[in-house]
């Protein structure tokens, strides 16, 4: 599963998760900042969990440091997928 995930798929999955966390759908986009969507640290922990479950990518606390936008998060997952 991990090998076939495309950038678009991961981005869509992140969008879906953000909506689940309560972000306003019209605010969600690749360059949206987590903070401006009221996505907090616990949400990011859950996002890391979703990515781990569905793409087999482990994201540690230190990996997530400095990640403030959806695009950065997707870049991180893509780099971990290799």
Partner 1 sequence: MGPVNVESNGRPDGCALVTGGSRGIGAAIVKALAAEGWPVGVNFRSDSESAHAVVKEITDAGGRAIAVQADIGDPEAADTIFKALEEEFGPVLVLINNAGVRADGLSPQIDDDDWAKVIDTNLSAAFRLTRRALRPMIRNRYGRVINIASIVGAERANPGQANYAASKAGLVAMTKTVAAEVARRGVTVNAVAPGLIETDMTENIGDGLLQHVPARRAGTPDEVAACVRFLASGEAAYVTGVCLTVDGGLTA
* Contacts to partner 1 by CB under 8 A: 42, 45-46, 49-50, 53
Structure tokens at 46: 């859950």
CB of 61 to partner 1, least distance (A): 12
Give me the residue label for tokens 């479950």. 53
Please identify, using beta-carbon distances, which residue of 50 and 78 lies nearer to partner 1: 50
CB of 30 to partner 1, least distance (A): 24
Please identify, using beta-carbon distances, which residue of 31 and 53 lies nearer to partner 1: 53
Please identify, using beta-carbon distances, which residue of 9 and 30 lies nearer to partner 1: 9
CB of 43 to partner 1, least distance (A): 10
Structure tokens at 63: 């990996």
Number of other CB atoms surrounding residue 6 within 10 Å: 9
CB 18 within 8 A of CB 70: yes
Structure tokens at 62: 């230190």
């Amino acid at each position: 599963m991990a090998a076939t995930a495309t950038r678009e798929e991961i981005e869509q999955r992140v969008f879906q998760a953000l909506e689940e966390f309560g972000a306003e759908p019209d605010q969600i986009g690749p360059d949206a900042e987590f903070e401006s969507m009221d996505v907090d640290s616990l949400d990011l922990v859950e996002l890391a969990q979703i990515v781990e479950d569905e793409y087999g990518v482990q994201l540690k606390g230190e990996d997530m440091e400095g990640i403030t936008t959806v695009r950065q998060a997707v870049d991180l997952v893509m780099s971990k997928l290799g």
